[in-house]
A and B are shown apart, each in its own frame.
Chain A
């Protein structure tokens, strides 16, 4: 099966490329906007901007399936998904595996199955992901095959978002045990499990008119407080601080904007690797208290995922954090302000 992976230089995309390379039945090609980032030479690559319909159509020709791991700003996610569905239709690429997000559930709380009603997401990210899903649905309605994956928070070694940045906040004493403010379910899921799901989704039998959707989160993923304390203990960010909602809000809402502004100014002058504290996005503060728990029965049953245990995922993530010392702070774009 010839598979094109869009967003192949991203965290999930890069892992997926590696996983696909191990399979005898898959011939993966990676695609991304910035070909220059790719350091491995043993894989096929295409330089593609998913918002460029013509280039995408040409690029998709001859592929049996495409996995959409594109991150980025609203246009890349939403408009990119539209271009992708149109291009796939035109190029005759019949199957799309689309990486969506639990952000489409908006502020919903409780145990959430895939057929739970989608609420209006508060942030731009959730709205963009919802719009992207709408385009995918349109593709399915026009006879295409789509599998939508809705992961929680994807982590593991190398996860800048949920390990690197979180670890630095813990080390700085800006994050810790948050009490009620961290009582939400983390819905953490190891990046390898996302790869498992995407690979299974490539060969999932789909009945005509069906649009399979799968929540992805490790069934044993803990609440945020537990993750923060566990990670802090594992990376030596001790003693763990107790930080309540008021202090978290002060950090996020009062200190966040000036820090963000300073970061943007420095970036404007070409300084990407600054030593400024990283702002805590208000969307994250909201997420940590949101008691949404993804029901992953469907993914377990139909995609047959052998979930990576939380303990193991935590251990390798912490080892990565500690080995990498103080990981350089890469420029965090909008795409990762909220999951």
Chain B
């Protein structure tokens, strides 16, 4: 059922097998999984079904450098369904190499392997409505399908990797009825977690403290508590629960909030493919089950290891939108319409430099000079995105020249100095606000440089084209818009060693027997992949683990009674 926390009596104490904090993709996936096994779940959600200004403002905080990271209330939604209400829907699993400890990526290595997570990916894919778990173009479309670049074969650069797209599915609206009908689930809307209280022994969580904006306070006592409140909020809750542990929960070794990662992303250089435009497949393809898919360039694991490259992908993309020299009416149209586009999706249309009158004029000229393409684009956009139930994922331009920029999306190495901390300010519930200090390292840039150089070398030696980029502006190109928005990773990282991690391989907070974390906060490294699919898979794996644990405990209780 779905209820309002406003109807709970002040001072009440609620009980359940499992209390999950946060009804985003991680929390909803876990709640659905546990409830299907007969485990009772109380799902606390701060927001309502729709976005509310006051609740959203609880996400406000500080950033060390606004050019490097968006304000914390952007790219996050404090509402039922969480940030899936605004996500782009890009799904892809991590690669086996992402889980490995790589000597050229400091602090890399997961305590679990790709194979440990693999069994949960197909179900995660289904929940995200991204079709079959098939991320190889040959497998998804058959070897006879047109390749990304005809004639391009390389031992080191893969072109058959796919990304698949969710509708994009808002987990709140999509799974609301399932949660509503489940006799095992109670969703409480408007319930803000404001603290975690320890048992007297300091080894386990006794209660979750919750509050509504109107001042009702109540507690939830469960056998297990799971924080599923996102990569930033999870750290905030752990750090702010400091009554027994002054440094915060799970933070004996000052790891909570550190190693904060996003992705390094930007458009770089120009890839010219020789021959006709029909040689290149740069657009979305539709899988038989109706899913939009897109091919990417990536470096094989063996070559990553050999060259010491972090993981990354590259997509065939268009030139930088803000610069009118692209002479493309569609891109100029997007630039001029940027004020009508949400912050999250319009961010890459504002590169910090105020446009001059000349810039506007040149963009207008581009539109006037390109009326056919512009109207064809608008018609397609209206039919396949605005009116469509499965949205065409992004702007794709007609390939007229066989020239593309490479849209890079790269892993960043974990850095202890890249971190979130509590600020001195508090929100209206008295919770300290977050301060985000995201940093990247030079090795992230150099790794992408190595990747680009390898792509250039392979494209050229295959004789299919040429890739060139400005070496001296690479860092600027990759950091122009700061951290890639919405990917909040690593603030409560997973590991065997308590000195360098917050949760163990089961996502249980070290030394707190009944506190678990679901979500991208636990990722020790960031991979090339967008985090959503993997965090859902991890939630399903956690569901398995918790079900086993609760079952064992139930059996123990029965035996005790029998004796």
Query: With an 8 A cutoff between CB atoms, is A209 at the interface?
Result: no
Q: Are A242 and B390 in contact (CB under 8 A)?
A: yes
User: Measured between alpha carbons, how far is A110 from B183 in the docked complex, in Å?
Assistant: 8
Chain B residues in 8 Å Cβ range of A244: 389
Query: With an 8 A cutoff between CB atoms, is B62 at the interface?
Result: no
The answer, among B178, B183, B290, B388, for a CB contact under 8 Å with A240, is B290
The answer, among B174, B177, B181, B287, for a CB contact under 8 Å with A239, is B287
Residues A242 and B167 in contact in the complex (CB < 8 Å), given A179-B129, A180-B173, A229-B289: yes
Chain A residues in 8 Å Cβ range of B183: 110
The answer, among B167, B173, B178, B288, for a CB contact under 8 Å with A291, is B178
Residues A240 and B288 in contact in the complex (CB < 8 Å), given A180-B174, A183-B178, A291-B181: yes
Query: With an 8 A cutoff between CB atoms, is B426 at the interface?
Result: no
Mark out the residues of chain B between 173 and 218 whose CB falls within 8 Å of any chain A CB in the assembled complex.
Answer: 173-174, 176-178, 181, 183
B92 to chain A, nearest CB (A): 20
What residue of chain B has the Cβ atom nearest to residue A293's Cβ? B181
B139 to chain A, nearest CB (A): 14
Q: Are A243 and B289 in contact (CB under 8 A)?
A: no
A235 to chain B, nearest CB (A): 11
Query: With an 8 A cutoff between CB atoms, is A334 at the interface?
Result: no
Residues A233 and B389 in contact in the complex (CB < 8 Å), given A109-B181, A291-B178, A291-B181: no
A183 to chain B, nearest CB (A): 7
Residues A179 and B287 in contact in the complex (CB < 8 Å), given A110-B183, A291-B177: no
User: Measured between alpha carbons, how far is A238 from B288 in the docked complex, in Å?
Assistant: 5
Q: Are A233 and B174 in contact (CB under 8 A)?
A: no
Residues A239 and B129 in contact in the complex (CB < 8 Å), given A179-B167, A180-B174: no
Residues A183 and B177 in contact in the complex (CB < 8 Å), given A233-B288, A240-B289, A242-B167: yes
Query: With an 8 A cutoff between CB atoms, is B286 at the interface?
Result: yes
Q: Are A239 and B289 in contact (CB under 8 A)?
A: yes
What residue of chain A has the Cβ atom nearest to residue B387's Cβ? A247
The answer, among B174, B178, B288, for a CB contact under 8 Å with A179, is B174
Q: Are B289 and A233 in contact (CB under 8 A)?
A: yes
Chain A residues in 8 Å Cβ range of B286: 239
Residues A242 and B177 in contact in the complex (CB < 8 Å), given A110-B183, A247-B389: no
Q: Are B289 and A238 in contact (CB under 8 A)?
A: yes
Chain A residues in 8 Å Cβ range of B388: 242
Query: With an 8 A cutoff between CB atoms, is A192 at the interface?
Result: no
Chain A residues in 8 Å Cβ range of B174: 179-180, 183
User: Measured between alpha carbons, how far is A247 from B129 in the docked complex, in Å?
Assistant: 19
Interface string of B284-297 (1 = CB under 8 A from A): 00111110000000
Query: With an 8 A cutoff between CB atoms, is A176 at the interface?
Result: yes
B505 to chain A, nearest CB (A): 32
The number of inter-chain residue pairs (CB within 8 angstroms) is 49
A178 to chain B, nearest CB (A): 9
Query: With an 8 A cutoff between CB atoms, is A177 at the interface?
Result: yes
Chain A residues in 8 Å Cβ range of B389: 179, 242-244, 247
Query: With an 8 A cutoff between CB atoms, is A241 at the interface?
Result: yes
The answer, among A110, A238, A243, for a CB contact under 8 Å with B181, is A110
Chain B residues in 8 Å Cβ range of A247: 389
What residue of chain B has the Cβ atom nearest to residue A243's Cβ? B389
Chain B residues in 8 Å Cβ range of A176: 290
User: Measured between alpha carbons, how far is A242 from B287 in the docked complex, in Å?
Assistant: 12
Q: Are B290 and A239 in contact (CB under 8 A)?
A: yes
What residue of chain B has the Cβ atom nearest to residue A241's Cβ? B290
Interface string of A228-258 (1 = CB under 8 A from B): 0100110000111111100100000000000
User: Measured between alpha carbons, how far is A240 from B292 in the docked complex, in Å?
Assistant: 11
A246 to chain B, nearest CB (A): 8
Chain A CB within 10 A, most for which of B167, B183, B390: B390
User: Measured between alpha carbons, how far is A247 from B388 in the docked complex, in Å?
Assistant: 10
Interface SS of B by simple majority: loop
User: Measured between alpha carbons, how far is A100 from B507 in the docked complex, in Å?
Assistant: 49
What residue of chain B has the Cβ atom nearest to residue A184's Cβ? B177
User: Measured between alpha carbons, how far is A232 from B183 in the docked complex, in Å?
Assistant: 33
What residue of chain B has the Cβ atom nearest to residue A110's Cβ? B181
User: Measured between alpha carbons, how far is A329 from B167 in the docked complex, in Å?
Assistant: 34
User: Measured between alpha carbons, how far is A72 from B177 in the docked complex, in Å?
Assistant: 34
A179 to chain B, nearest CB (A): 6
A186 to chain B, nearest CB (A): 15
Chain A residues in 8 Å Cβ range of B289: 177, 229, 232-233, 238-240
Q: Are A242 and B173 in contact (CB under 8 A)?
A: no
Interface string of A127-164 (1 = CB under 8 A from B): 00000000000000000000000000000000000000
Chain A residues in 8 Å Cβ range of B290: 176-177, 229, 238-242
B241 to chain A, nearest CB (A): 36
A165 to chain B, nearest CB (A): 20
Chain B residues in 8 Å Cβ range of A110: 181, 183
User: Measured between alpha carbons, how far is A177 from B288 in the docked complex, in Å?
Assistant: 12
A236 to chain B, nearest CB (A): 9
User: Measured between alpha carbons, how far is A183 from B180 in the docked complex, in Å?
Assistant: 13
Chain B residues in 8 Å Cβ range of A238: 288-290
Chain B residues in 8 Å Cβ range of A242: 167, 290, 388-390
Interface string of A9-23 (1 = CB under 8 A from B): 000000000000000
User: Measured between alpha carbons, how far is A229 from B290 in the docked complex, in Å?
Assistant: 9
What residue of chain A has the Cβ atom nearest to residue B388's Cβ? A242
Mark out the residues of chain B between 267 and 311 whose CB falls within 8 Å of any chain A CB in the assembled complex.
Answer: 286-290
User: Measured between alpha carbons, how far is A247 from B181 in the docked complex, in Å?
Assistant: 25
Chain B residues in 8 Å Cβ range of A183: 174, 177-178
Residues A180 and B288 in contact in the complex (CB < 8 Å), given A110-B183, A242-B167: no
B29 to chain A, nearest CB (A): 15
A121 to chain B, nearest CB (A): 19
User: Measured between alpha carbons, how far is A243 from B286 in the docked complex, in Å?
Assistant: 15
User: Measured between alpha carbons, how far is A232 from B290 in the docked complex, in Å?
Assistant: 10
What residue of chain A has the Cβ atom nearest to residue B176's Cβ? A180
B473 to chain A, nearest CB (A): 41
A7 to chain B, nearest CB (A): 34
Chain B residues in 8 Å Cβ range of A241: 290, 390
Chain B residues in 8 Å Cβ range of A179: 129, 167, 174, 389
Mark out the residues of chain B between 437 and 484 whose CB falls within 8 Å of any chain A CB in the assembled complex.
Answer: none
User: Measured between alpha carbons, how far is A177 from B174 in the docked complex, in Å?
Assistant: 13
B13 to chain A, nearest CB (A): 27
Chain A residues in 8 Å Cβ range of B287: 239
Chain A residues in 8 Å Cβ range of B288: 233, 238-240
User: Measured between alpha carbons, how far is A221 from B287 in the docked complex, in Å?
Assistant: 24
What residue of chain B has the Cβ atom nearest to residue A111's Cβ? B183
Chain A residues in 8 Å Cβ range of B173: 180
User: Measured between alpha carbons, how far is A238 from B131 in the docked complex, in Å?
Assistant: 13
What residue of chain B has the Cβ atom nearest to residue A240's Cβ? B290
B31 to chain A, nearest CB (A): 16
User: Measured between alpha carbons, how far is A44 from B412 in the docked complex, in Å?
Assistant: 78
B507 to chain A, nearest CB (A): 28
What residue of chain A has the Cβ atom nearest to residue B174's Cβ? A180
Interface string of A280-298 (1 = CB under 8 A from B): 0000000001010000000
What residue of chain B has the Cβ atom nearest to residue A176's Cβ? B290
Chain B residues in 8 Å Cβ range of A177: 129, 289-290, 390
User: Measured between alpha carbons, how far is A247 from B173 in the docked complex, in Å?
Assistant: 17
What residue of chain A has the Cβ atom nearest to residue B182's Cβ? A110
User: Measured between alpha carbons, how far is A179 from B286 in the docked complex, in Å?
Assistant: 18
9 contacts between A and B (CB under 8 A): A110-B181, A179-B167, A179-B389, A180-B176, A180-B177, A229-B290, A233-B289, A239-B288, A291-B177
- Residues of B with Cβ closer than 8 Å to A? 129, 167, 173-174, 176-178, 181, 183, 286-290, 388-390
Other 18 A-B pairs with CB < 8 A, given A239-B289, A242-B388: A110-B183, A177-B129, A177-B390, A179-B129, A180-B176, A183-B178, A229-B289, A232-B289, A238-B289, A238-B290, A239-B286, A240-B290, A241-B290, A242-B167, A242-B390, A243-B389, A291-B177, A291-B178
- Residues of A with Cβ closer than 8 Å to B? 109-110, 176-177, 179-180, 183, 229, 232-233, 238-244, 247, 289, 291
Q: What are the 6 closest A-B residue pairs judged by CB atoms, nearest first?
A: A242-B390, A240-B290, A244-B389, A238-B288, A242-B389, A239-B290
